[in-house]
Structure 1
Amino acid sequence: MTGKTLVEIPGPAGGRVLGNLQEFSTDPLRFLTACAREYGDIVRISPRNVLLVGPEHVERMLVDRNTDFVKEGPEARRAGRRQSLPLSTMSADREDWKAKRRRIQPAFGRELSATAAAAMRGQGERMLEQWRPGQVRDLQQDVSVVTLRLVTALMFGEEYTDSEIAEVAGMVAPIMELSASPVVLPEWLPTRRKLQIRRNLRRVERTLARVAASGRAADPKAAPVLHALLHGTPTPTPAEVKDELATLLMAGYETTNDAVVWASVLLARNPDAAERVHREAEKALAGNATGMALLGELPYTDAVLRESLRLYSPVWMTSRDAQVDVKFSDYVIPAGTTVTVSQWVNHRDPRYWKQAEEFRPERWLGKEPTDVPRGSYFPFGLGPRTCFGASLAAVEAVSLLATVWSRYRLRLAAPEVRLRPALALQPLDARFTVEAW
């Protein structure tokens, strides 16, 4: 294989000691965007880290050559960098990943999505019972209760009590503060945040152990996901069960939560779009349609969600370790290199998106944009490792958006909603004033 080497790939030099670590840690979204705009579609951001930007490169990494990249290669293990939940499907690779995905994916079918659509409307109405016009609500907090209730009920066959929901939310929040940085501190370094995360993980384990021991696990109708996990093939070890449940809980909770809040932020900033969602949702919810049929009557609300996922994808970057030398354009990226693609960067690339920084839900009406390369939009990943809960998360988010905006108009109460790029792209200070239509 011939081509330019890793050291020849252009990129920011950074400082003499920390390289680009400080700039990345301070504002990773700005840093990655600046790298792409200044240095092109292949950027060396550290001696062992490369950023890929062009949609053809994203597709090559995640689809065409996906078997040449793993979640964590030997270089990462030697450096002491380990996955937080290493035995989950999300952290697995190769045959181990295939076996784990085959075991659990059947539970995430159309039946679960239909159940979620109906259940989310009910949970949303339950939330709105506490709202009154004129109140200022922390939407992130309100929606987190709804999504945690729904996730636990759908996946584990029982709904947590309000005190349990509060406890789980308190445990999840510090864990989600972990940065998804491809440049990380060694696992052995005892930072205060890592010690707190470990304590919270132990508390999560105790809660999930009780869930796994529940009698509902034997009933595929009552707890389809838990049943598939515990009774599927190969039989999981207790440690695998813990990692899988913790991952499902955090991923199912955080993705939907952030998607609903960001979409609401955009609707609050765009009153014409909010009015259109209100009219559509009010009409649809007044009819007899339920479940997936109801979602078919919410095309504009669905377009709002898709556009929100473009501008504020909860998953804002994805990293893999190259297992072999892989050629991208004129460059050879050697084995052991951590390669990163960024939804934040690609979803806002003006070369492929007209009015890339603008909120334009209409671009998703009718059918997906045909003039945009596939690697330009991948909020739930791309290729074989696309999130198997993507459809479920979208159904939940559209259902909750319709329920909320059919009843109330939300106006931003905070001067600015800030972004926190942790494991997910979290909105901070997402407070809204509730108004009657």
Structure 2
Amino acid sequence: MYEALEVARDGLGPVFALGFGRFRPIVVASPEALREALVERRGAFFWRPEGDPVARLFRRSILVTDGEEHDHARGVMLPAFEPAKLRGQAAALLAIVEDELGRWPRDGRVEVVEAMRRIAWRGFERVFFGYDLGEAELRQTLPGLLAALRYIGPGMWVLRGRAGPPPRGVAPLENHVRRVAARRAGRGGEGEVLLDLLARVFDEERVRDHALTMLIAGHDTSTAQLSWALHLLARDRGWLARATREARSVAASDLAGARPEDLPVIDAVLKETLRLWPPIHVGGRRAGPGAAIAGYELPEGRRVMLSYFLVQRDGAIWRRAREFDPGRWLGGGSPPVPYSYLPFGGGPRNCIGAQFASLEGRLVLARVLQEFDIAATRRPLRGAMGATLEPRGGRLRVRRR
């Protein structure tokens, strides 16, 4: 799909229409048009069509609602994402990473997406739910999580124009979220986490909507980012050597306090990974009354796809646009033009978890490189558009130091 979008953009320009059955979106792929949709004309674009699987699964959550309802929910959640509060969770995140890396072979192969999903999932629940997800419960709940990811990803609903109800297979995950929320009921104080903030303001069903949304979105994006970063490094010996030297120059006991400037190469690797393979590669909207973009008037209700992927790989904007080059971010490197780099979206609705993703990515990548030598296998690697844009087909060879 992403290759077809690149061909369409090259032939049709930065704003074009697609047609797949009843799925007929307008694709937006220029920085100027993205600025219009995300900031200047934000009020003319609504977040999710009601028939999307995301809207059907997450109901009235922060990811689905607009206007005051969305802004209120975001305001309730923001304290859980304050940078100082997140840094205070670094040691807990590292403990999970240590536990998971202890399961890797001393000399063998690792399915990266599966390994990173475990770390990201356990890390998210520990930081934002205040919950230590054990092995038995993880295995019991995993089928529900995977069912949810399949449901909200591209599927036959794209051709039909509307998704059916969430499948029964999602129930183990939903039941898990409800159980964890019930266990947190009445807690708070100094150790307050996201679930506590939600429970203080919303009823049980809205807590379910927000918590389920944040768990799926928060862990799946980190899974994709970390998986791509490891695969890209394993395929570039020069940058792998630089990132490995940097990681090993910091004591494991000091990683919890490391900031982006302490690990500039690893920070650059993560930024470049997000440029080439943004987990949320497209922002879905629908046109409201009077909506227009790049001078084009849009029919009310028309789907609009804000393609961060296409803009971040546009050769007219970026030098060596399709090459993995973390060096473009070193020494104060920045995007060539505003709104040409939006892995966390942009405007007032940018990703609330961007700071957490940066912290988690830095800790996980550094700790993997401290403990293991990694190399690519010969299996071909490709991108797959599911709930996020993640790598498929490749494994890593790993050898413990």
| TM-score with structure 1 setting the length | 0.85
Residues 277, 406 of structure 1: 8 Å contact kept = no
Q: Which has the larger radius of gyration?
A: 1
Cα distance in 1 for residues equivalent to 2:216 and 2:85:
18
Cα distance in 2 for residues equivalent to 1:238 and 1:350:
48
Equivalent position of 1:63 in the other structure: 39
- Whether 1:297 aligns to 2:262 is yes
Residues 45, 291 of structure 2: 8 Å contact kept = no
Equivalent position to 1:388, from 352, 355, 362: 352
Partner secondary structure for residue 89 of structure 1: coil
Equivalent position of 2:3 in the other structure: 30
Equivalent position to 2:278, from 304, 308, 313: 313
Query: Match for 1:72: what amino acid?
Result: R
- Please show how residues 339-418 of structure 1 align to structure 2 within 5 Å: 339-369=304-334, 372-418=336-382
Cα distance in 2 for residues equivalent to 1:51 and 1:108:
31
Q: Deviations over 1:195-248 (max 9, x none)?
A: xx52133222211111111146512443411111111xxx31221111111111
Residues 261, 427 of structure 1: 8 Å contact kept = yes
Cα distance in 2 for residues equivalent to 1:35 and 1:136:
38
Equivalent position of 1:173 in the other structure: 146
- Please show how residues 111-260 of structure 1 align to structure 2 within 5 Å: 111-177=84-150, 178-179=152-153, 183-187=158-162, 197-215=166-184, 218-231=187-200, 235-260=201-226
Residues 81, 184 of structure 1: 8 Å contact kept = no
Cα distance in 1 for residues equivalent to 2:218 and 2:71:
20
Residues 94, 256 of structure 2: 8 Å contact kept = no
The offset of 1:358, in angstroms, is 0.5
Equivalent position to 1:423, from 387, 390, 397: 387
The offset of 1:361, in angstroms, is 0.3
The offset of 1:172, in angstroms, is 1.4
- Please show how residues 277-292 of structure 1 align to structure 2 within 5 Å: 277-285=243-251, 289-292=254-257
Residues 94, 363 of structure 2: 8 Å contact kept = yes
Query: Match for 2:116: what amino acid?
Result: V
Structure 1 window deviating more from structure 2 (395-404 vs 79-88): it is 79-88
Question: Residues 410 and 367 from structure 1, CA distance in 2 versus in 1: closer, same or farther, beyond 3 angstroms?
Answer: same
Query: Match for 2:345: what amino acid?
Result: G
Residues 216, 223 of structure 1: 8 Å contact kept = no
Query: Match for 2:292: what amino acid?
Result: K
Question: Residues 374 and 180 from structure 1, CA distance in 2 versus in 1: closer, same or farther, beyond 3 angstroms?
Answer: farther
The total of aligned residue pairs comes to: 396
Question: Residues 44 and 156 from structure 1, CA distance in 2 versus in 1: closer, same or farther, beyond 3 angstroms?
Answer: same
Unmatched 5+ stretches in structure 2: none
Question: Residues 364 and 332 from structure 1, CA distance in 2 versus in 1: closer, same or farther, beyond 3 angstroms?
Answer: same
Query: Match for 2:177: what amino acid?
Result: L
Question: Residues 292 and 334 from structure 1, CA distance in 2 versus in 1: closer, same or farther, beyond 3 angstroms?
Answer: farther
Partner secondary structure for residue 325 of structure 1: coil
Residues 139, 431 of structure 1: 8 Å contact kept = yes
Cα distance in 1 for residues equivalent to 2:185 and 2:259:
29
Residues 259, 313 of structure 1: 8 Å contact kept = yes
Unmatched 5+ stretches in structure 1: 1-27
Cα distance in 1 for residues equivalent to 2:122 and 2:72:
29
- Whether 1:263 aligns to 2:232 is no
Cα distance in 1 for residues equivalent to 2:189 and 2:221:
25
The offset of 1:148, in angstroms, is 1.6
Partner secondary structure for residue 321 of structure 1: strand
Q: Deviations over 1:383-422 (max 9, x none)?
A: 0110101110111011100000122121122511232201
The offset of 1:165, in angstroms, is 1.4
Cα distance in 1 for residues equivalent to 2:4 and 2:25:
14
Cα distance in 1 for residues equivalent to 2:129 and 2:371:
30
Query: Match for 1:35: what amino acid?
Result: A
Question: Residues 125 and 149 from structure 1, CA distance in 2 versus in 1: closer, same or farther, beyond 3 angstroms?
Answer: same
The offset of 1:122, in angstroms, is 2.2
Query: Match for 2:61: what amino acid?
Result: S
Residues 116, 396 of structure 1: 8 Å contact kept = no
Equivalent position of 2:238 in the other structure: 272
Cα distance in 2 for residues equivalent to 1:134 and 1:417:
21
Equivalent position of 1:335 in the other structure: 300
Cα distance in 2 for residues equivalent to 1:188 and 1:359:
36
Equivalent position of 2:25 in the other structure: 49
Residues 280, 300 of structure 1: 8 Å contact kept = yes
Residues 379, 395 of structure 2: 8 Å contact kept = no
The offset of 1:92, in angstroms, is 0.9
Cα distance in 2 for residues equivalent to 1:188 and 1:406:
44
Residues 116, 392 of structure 1: 8 Å contact kept = no
Equivalent position to 2:59, from 86, 89, 108: 86
The offset of 1:255, in angstroms, is 1.0
Query: Match for 1:245: what amino acid?
Result: A
Cα distance in 2 for residues equivalent to 1:168 and 1:57:
41
The offset of 1:332, in angstroms, is 1.5
Cα distance in 1 for residues equivalent to 2:105 and 2:180:
35
Percent identity, aligned pairs only, is 26
Residues 124, 146 of structure 1: 8 Å contact kept = yes
Query: Match for 1:226: what amino acid?
Result: L
The offset of 1:262, in angstroms, is 0.3
- Whether 1:98 aligns to 2:71 is yes
Partner secondary structure for residue 16 of structure 2: strand
Partner secondary structure for residue 296 of structure 1: helix
The offset of 1:88, in angstroms, is 0.9
